[in-house]
């Protein structure tokens, strides 16, 4: 009789469990489909942004009679942050182009001298364009009035007016949020939310799969509960990480390559790095909790119910972030919550991608999560070890904590 060498180091056992999770998950259809679908969506989003958002905000037609207005219109629009393209067409063709949507508006000669601009639009005038045109109309009237005054020189007045400005002296330097970074923050938020949600649930389902199929009894006869739990969390976490890096990398590459996001490469890379850091922190934190909670039940149908309370933290953080931050990146509520460990993994990466996060906040939020993890490891390990072998009815959380 030969006795095989059966020494198996602790971490070797963890690695073995983890590598099974990795191979099983990498091969699963659900995983491949979500990854590919996310990539397609992201690249598609970048392409759509390019066609919709790229170039000018509006195209305005001018007739030969009004073509003199093309220059002033562009300049006026520029002052209110609108990028307008102009095109000289005859009135008939212009009206046709407005009808088919090629032109957003057509400025036609009014004939009268009331200083009014007549604008042909399909249905109604875009608010920004209306503002630009209203300012322009006022400008024309003003110029005419100045010219009628003795010695009046519209150009000189114009330049004086242009030079008049408000000098702002901020006590606290505000962060110049850029629209490109806001978009980046939204995308980062969606990515990390989906990753945490999907991979976290994957851990919970994996725990229950082992429990409901009773394979856990066979496994625990040879390895310790914590090794099984750690292997599962690390294995699924690793797959999620690869997924996140691939999706984040491809997304950023697509955005920069198509020139959709007007941000620096360093900001883009920084976002991906933060995304990875926060994914890891968030995943470890949440999945430990999910694993412990899932160990309380014995059927897949019960997984949802038992992990929902913990899942709410992920969802609440994300919902607050996605609904508040894009319009108000400096929101005080989001700022406070993003430092609290249970909400930080969804909120902080969004804020970091949008920029303007003080260094101390970033450090404190990471530090708090890092401090919380050992406590969660201990607590979850205890609940898991006590509950995972008890099949049948749901194990009460109190019982799982108490029994040694």
Partner 1 sequence: MGDGRLEIDHISKRYGDVVALRDTTFDVRAGELFGFVGSNGAGKTTTMRIALGVLAADSGEVRWDGERITLETRRHIGYMPEERGLYPKMKVGEQLIYLARMHGLSTKDARRSMVDWTERLGVAHRQGDDVQNLSLGNQQRVQLAAALVHNPSILVLDEPFSGLDPIAVDVMSKVLQDKAADGIPVVFSSHQLELVERLCHRVGIIRGGEMVAIGEVDELRSGGSVELVVVAPNATDGWASGLTGVTVREQTGGRTVLELGDGANDQAVLHAALATGPVTEFSRRRPSLTELYREVVTQETEDAA
Chain residues binding partner 1 by CB under 8 A are 1-8, 13, 16, 20, 24, 209-210, 213-224, 389, 391
Give the torsion sign (CA, 332, 334, 338, 340): positive
3-state secondary structure of 84: strand
In the complex, the smallest distance separating the C-beta of residue 383 from partner 1, rounded to whole angstroms, is 17
If the CB atoms of residues 135 and 220 are measured against partner 1, the closer one turns out to be 220
Q: Are 376 and 285 in contact (CB under 8 A)?
A: yes
In the complex, the smallest distance separating the C-beta of residue 380 from partner 1, rounded to whole angstroms, is 20
Distance (Å, whole) CA 319 – CA 344: 13
Question: Tokens 């995304």 correspond to what residue?
Answer: 275
Question: Tokens 């929101």 correspond to what residue?
Answer: 331
If the CB atoms of residues 10 and 308 are measured against partner 1, the closer one turns out to be 10
Q: How far is CA 216 from CA 203, 224, 284, 375, 385, in A?
A: 14, 11, 22, 25, 11
If the CB atoms of residues 9 and 151 are measured against partner 1, the closer one turns out to be 9
If the CB atoms of residues 79 and 213 are measured against partner 1, the closer one turns out to be 213
In the complex, the smallest distance separating the C-beta of residue 12 from partner 1, rounded to whole angstroms, is 9
If the CB atoms of residues 28 and 264 are measured against partner 1, the closer one turns out to be 28
Distance (Å, whole) CA 233 – CA 211: 16
For the packed helices 179-212 and 265-294, what is the interaxial angle rounded to 10 degrees? 20
In the complex, the smallest distance separating the C-beta of residue 80 from partner 1, rounded to whole angstroms, is 60
If the CB atoms of residues 217 and 301 are measured against partner 1, the closer one turns out to be 217
> What order of strands is seen across the sheet that includes strand 105-108?
84-88, 58-62, 105-108, 118-120
In the complex, the smallest distance separating the C-beta of residue 187 from partner 1, rounded to whole angstroms, is 33
In the complex, the smallest distance separating the C-beta of residue 200 from partner 1, rounded to whole angstroms, is 20
In the complex, the smallest distance separating the C-beta of residue 238 from partner 1, rounded to whole angstroms, is 17
If the CB atoms of residues 207 and 268 are measured against partner 1, the closer one turns out to be 207
In the complex, the smallest distance separating the C-beta of residue 209 from partner 1, rounded to whole angstroms, is 7
If the CB atoms of residues 15 and 394 are measured against partner 1, the closer one turns out to be 15
If the CB atoms of residues 130 and 300 are measured against partner 1, the closer one turns out to be 300
In the complex, the smallest distance separating the C-beta of residue 373 from partner 1, rounded to whole angstroms, is 26
Helix, strand, coil percentages in the chain from 3-state DSSP, rounded to 5: 70, 5, 25
If the CB atoms of residues 16 and 277 are measured against partner 1, the closer one turns out to be 16
Tell me 57's DSSP state: S
> For the range 270-274, what are the long-range contacts, defined as Cβ-Cβ under 8 Å and sequence gap of 24 or more?
270/352, 271/184, 271/188, 271/349, 271/352, 271/353, 272/245, 272/248, 274/188, 274/348, 274/349, 274/352, 274/353
Which of 85, 65, 63 minimizes the C-alpha distance to 74? 85
Distance (Å, whole) CA 215 – CA 229: 14
- β 84-88/118-120 pair status: unpaired
- β 58-62/105-108 pair status: parallel
In the complex, the smallest distance separating the C-beta of residue 4 from partner 1, rounded to whole angstroms, is 5
């Amino acid at each position: 009789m030969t006795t095989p060498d059966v020494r198996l180091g602790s971490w070797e056992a963890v690695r073995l469990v983890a590598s099974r999770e990795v191979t099983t998950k990498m091969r699963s259809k659900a995983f491949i489909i979500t990854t590919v679908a996310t990539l397609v969506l992201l690249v598609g989003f970048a392409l759509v942004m390019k066609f919709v958002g790229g170039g000018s905000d509006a195209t305005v037609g001018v007739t030969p009679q009004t073509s003199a207005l093309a220059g002033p219109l562009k300049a006026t629009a520029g002052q209110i942050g609108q990028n307008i393209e102009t095109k000289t067409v005859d009135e008939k063709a212009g009206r046709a182009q407005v009808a088919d949507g090629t032109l957003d508006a057509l400025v036609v000669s009014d004939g009268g001298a009331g200083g009014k601009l007549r604008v042909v639009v399909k249905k109604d005038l875009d608010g920004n364009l209306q503002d630009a045109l209203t300012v322009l109309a006022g400008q024309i009237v003003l110029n005419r009035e100045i010219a009628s005054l003795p010695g009046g020189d519209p150009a000189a007045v114009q330049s004086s007016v242009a030079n008049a400005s408000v000098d702002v002296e901020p006590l606290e330097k505000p962060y110049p949020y850029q629209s490109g970074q806001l978009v980046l923050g939204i995308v980062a938020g969606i990515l990390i939310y989906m990753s945490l949600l999907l991979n976290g649930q994957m851990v919970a389902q994996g725990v229950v799969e082992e429990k409901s199929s009773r394979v856990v009894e066979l496994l625990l006869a040879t390895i310790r509960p914590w090794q099984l739990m750690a292997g599962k969390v690390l294995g699924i976490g690793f797959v999620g990480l690869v997924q996140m890096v691939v999706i984040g990398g491809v997304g950023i590459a697509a955005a920069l390559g198509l020139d959709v996001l007007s941000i620096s490469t360093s900001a883009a890379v920084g976002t991906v790095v933060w995304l990875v850091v926060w994914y890891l922190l968030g995943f470890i934190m949440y999945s430990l909790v999910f694993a412990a909670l899932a160990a309380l039940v014995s059927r897949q149908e019960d997984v949802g119910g038992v992990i929902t309370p913990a899942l709410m933290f992920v969802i609440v953080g994300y919902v607050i972030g996605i609904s508040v931050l894009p319009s108000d990146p400096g929101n005080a509520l989001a700022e406070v919550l993003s430092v609290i460990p249970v909400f930080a993994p969804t909120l902080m990466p969004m804020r970091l991608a949008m920029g303007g996060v003080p260094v101390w906040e970033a450090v404190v939020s990471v530090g708090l999560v890092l401090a919380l993890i050992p406590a969660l490891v201990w607590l979850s390990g205890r609940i898991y070890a006590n509950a995972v072998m008890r099949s049948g009815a749901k194990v009460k959380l109190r019982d799982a904590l108490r029994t040694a």
